[in-house]
């Protein structure tokens, strides 16, 4: 599972000239640490401290903004019927099309809000399912995807892979 994450996102990170080699290696290190915690539970405090320090170094002012704003990344799911969200088993194409609307719905829910955190939340809600090649939910491509959306996308994919869902075990 981890090699898939590294393969997908290393291509994205390598293509984005705004992300330095240091940040690339730091993100890989974080993935390794998170995987170790998931597998063994060892070193949780150390990793928590490490992640905090690394994020402060990388994003300084934006860490707290992204952390708080990312909590609203799936707010659009409030508008998706629970029968679809909680369905056990594979979604139909029509159901998946409905699920995909949650990104746009999230941005619409947050549309009339103000402030830097809420502006960030709108961007994250809209961009967190975008893919570098343009095959995401809304078709944004490459550097047109916000850095905040890309950060949350990595975390969201990892969480989806390692967490239990109504339709799969962890």
Question: φ, ψ for residue 165 (rounded to 5)?
Answer: -130, 170
Q: Residue with structure tokens 């998706």?
A: 80
Say how far apart CA 168 and CA 170 lie, in whole Å.
7
For the record, the structure tokens of 161 come out as 């892979």
Say how far apart CA 80 and CA 34 lie, in whole Å.
31
Question: φ, ψ for residue 168 (rounded to 5)?
Answer: -160, 155
Tell me whether residue 77 is one of the annotated catalytic residues. yes
Catalytic residue among 14, 56, 61, 77: 77
Say how far apart CA 108 and CA 15 lie, in whole Å.
30
In DSSP terms, 91 is beta-bridged to: none
The sign of the dihedral angle between the CA atoms of 149, 154, 157, 159 is negative
Residues in the chain: 170
Catalytic residue numbers read 77
């Amino acid at each position: 599972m981890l090699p898939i994450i590294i393969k997908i996102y290393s291509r994205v990170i390598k293509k984005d000239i705004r992300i330095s080699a240091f940040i690339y290696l730091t993100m890989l290190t974080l993935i390794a640490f998170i995987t170790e915690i998931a597998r063994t539970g060892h070193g949780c405090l150390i990793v928590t401290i490490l992640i905090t320090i690394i994020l402060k170094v990388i994003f300084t002012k934006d860490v707290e903004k992204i952390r708080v704003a990312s909590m609203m990344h799936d707010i659009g799911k409030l508008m998706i019927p629970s029968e679809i969200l909680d369905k056990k088993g594979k979604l139909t194409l029509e159901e998946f099309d409905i699920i995909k609307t949650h990104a746009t719905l999230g941005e619409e829910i947050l549309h009339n809000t103000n402030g830097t955190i809420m502006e960030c939340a709108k961007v994250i809600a809209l961009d967190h399912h975008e893919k570098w090649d343009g095959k995401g939910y809304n078709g944004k491509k490459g550097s047109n995807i916000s850095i905040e959306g890309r950060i949350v996308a990595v975390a969201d994919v990892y969480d989806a892979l390692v967490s239990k869902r109504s339709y799969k075990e962890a």
